[in-house]
Every structure is written in C-alpha cells, then in structure tokens.
Amino acid sequence: MKQHSYQVVITDCDHGSIEEEKEVFARIGAELILAQVREEDEVIRACKDADGLLNQYALLTRKVLEHLPKCKVVARYGVGVDSVDLKAATDLGIIVANVPDYCIDEVSDHAIALILSLVRKTAFFNAKIKTGQWDFRSGIPIRRIKGKTLGLIGSGKIGLEVAKKLSSFGVRAIAFDPYLKTGPQGIELKDFDAVLKESDFISIHCPLNDSTRHLIGEKEFKRMEKKPLLINTSRGPIIDEKALIHALQEGLITGAGLDVLEKEPPDSVNPMLAMENVILSPHVGFYSEESISELKRRTAKNVSDVLTGKWPGSVVNQEVKGKARVPMSG
C-alpha cells in the first residue's frame, strides 16, 4: 500500500467536486479525505490524524482543536473565519489561513451590472416586453451614464475595482472610507455627508460590523440630494431595509440594486418584490465557475504550503508566527 507523506481532511464543503484540491495534494503526495462532518465529536473522529484541514462550516472549537495533535494548519474556504476558534488555534500553534480575494472581479462586475441595468432599464424593459408591451416610452426618463458621480461607501478591494471599471464609462468616483488617508487610484476621499449629497450612484463595499449596521437609514436617505441609485453587494444589514422601502416609496432615491438583503431570502410580502425600480439577486455576487475553482485551488494551496514549510498567502492569526507546530521558512 502507498505510504502518504501527510493526511489532509476536508471537514465539510458544499461544492460538488474536489478535483482542484486533489490536484494540489497529489503534487505533495498527501492523502485527501472528504469527511463531510459538522458535529463536534464527528469532526474530532474524522480529523484526529490530520496534518491539515480544509474547512467550510463545521465549527472548529477549542475542544475540537485540542483533540487534533498533528494538525498544523486550518484553511477556510473563503474570507470569513468565524467557524474557527482563532485564539485556541494560536495557543496550539495551528496556522489559520483564508482566501480574502477570490471574487473581487465577480462582485465588482455584479455591482456594475446592477447599476447599468437600473440606468438602462434592461430588467424593466425585459419584464414589459414579456407581458406584451413594446414601447421605449414606458421607461422614460433614462439618463446618460457618462459624467455621473459614483459614491463608494468603503473603498477597499471591491470598491476600487468598481471605480476603475466604471471610469471607462466616464464615471467619476468619490468615496467615504474612514480607514484610508488617501483615496486609491483616481478616487477622491470625501466625508460621509458629501458622498450622500453628491453621488448619482451609491455603492456599498464596507464590511458589516457594529459601526456599519444600519449605516444607511432614514436620516441618510434624506441627505441624498441627487435621488441616487443605491447598490448593495456587501451585506444586507448595512442598509436599514424599512427606511429603504420608505425612501423608495417616497421617491427619495431613484432605484436600488441589491444582491444582499436583511432577510435572505426575502418574505413574500416584502414590498420591494413589486417595485419596478428595484433589482434583486440572490447573494450571487461571489460566484462564477472561475472564482469557485480559484477558491478551491487556493484553499488547498494554503494547506500544502504549510505542510511543505512555507507561509501561506494569507495568514489570519499572525500571532502564531514563532510558535507554529511545523518549521517554517521566512
């Protein structure tokens, strides 16, 4: 029987194939096991001999990690690492890695798709034609895109891409981002009020946390002087949805394009489902065949890097440096 150099376990994942992961681990002669376990005791049983883990939803609590004496690395599929007890991992010398940037193109394209569709009314006309109405006048007025101002709330990786891509349409970008001192590449930083006041399109790209929950509410809608289009591809609760519905009903904004909602999926009585100037999508911004394939390959690579003594592309618990269970170069 073939001797494997390492054992790697995928605790759980909801993607159909693990071909990318298999390819990565074949290169280092590691055995790969797909466990599909979620419960604490099952996870311990399935992973007790593992040198490395790939993880999606299964909770890697302190108890679980304490029962994995050989585990050197946990790589999470995606950005968030809420499923892993980071403090426990650090205490035990287990490196935790993630992939923070596998879908920047997808989400930025999606935000732009929502803006373009709202401005050119493609979803609106499509629905009209399919109920027998062929008349461009039903969509009047339509405004020119060139020369408009895009206001970003959060100007990190995705916000920057939205601004860069829309600049080729002749759109100027301004941004509110309290953690940046200077605006990245062609984006003018402004205070929150100025972005609300001056923008024709407002696109949200900050993370959801205590300071951004309901960042856009009743007061903020009243300060939007240009009746902008509001785009959210970040997280639903950043917008107070009751206030958004009210703003749409009162005409304080021209329309909304939302990939994320406070409640996903929305209740069947959500008034936005009947609004022609609202476009919804089912939290799909992250997804393309290519982004998922890249996510799988890079998550596996994070584990294989550690097992072969290299720091992975993105380490979440930086404090583990100096006490990792495996000798690392660099």
CA 314, 319, 324: angle at the middle one, nearest 5? 80
Q: Judged by CB under 6 A, which of 3, 131, 168, 211 binds ligand NAD?
A: 211
7 lies in the binding site for ligand NAD (CB under 6 A): no
35 lies in the binding site for ligand NAD (CB under 6 A): no
Q: Judged by CB under 6 A, which of 177, 200, 262, 305 binds ligand NAD?
A: 177
264 in active site? yes
Q: Cβ closer to ligand NAD: 177 or 200?
A: 177
Shortest distance (Å) from residue 177 CB to ligand NAD? 4
Contact residues for 123 (Cβ-Cβ < 8 A; gap 6+): 117, 279
**Residue 240, phi-psi category: left (phi > 0), alpha (psi -120 to 50), beta (remainder):** beta
Q: Judged by CB under 6 A, which of 212, 254, 299, 317 binds ligand NAD?
A: 212
Q: Cβ closer to ligand NAD: 68 or 158?
A: 158
Q: Cβ closer to ligand NAD: 80 or 170?
A: 80
A 10 A CB-CB count for 107 gives 23
151 lies in the binding site for ligand NAD (CB under 6 A): no
The answer to whether 32 and 39 have CB atoms below 8 angstroms apart is no
Q: Which amino acid is at 289?
A: E
Of 4, 26, 74, the residue nearest 306 (C-alpha): 74
235 in active site? yes
Choices 12-20, 153-161, 241-249, 289-297; region in contact with ligand NAD by CB under 6 A: 153-161
A 10 A CB-CB count for 184 gives 17
Q: Cβ closer to ligand NAD: 121 or 205?
A: 205
Look up residue 7 and give its two tokens: 């054992």
Q: Judged by CB under 6 A, which of 96, 260, 292, 316 binds ligand NAD?
A: 260
161 in active site? no
d(CA 42, CA 31): 19
d(CA 251, CA 245): 10
Shortest distance (Å) from residue 226 CB to ligand NAD? 19
d(CA 218, CA 288): 35
Residues lying near ligand NAD in the complex (CB under 6 A) are found at 103, 107, 153-159, 176-180, 205-208, 211-212, 233-235, 259-260, 283, 285-286
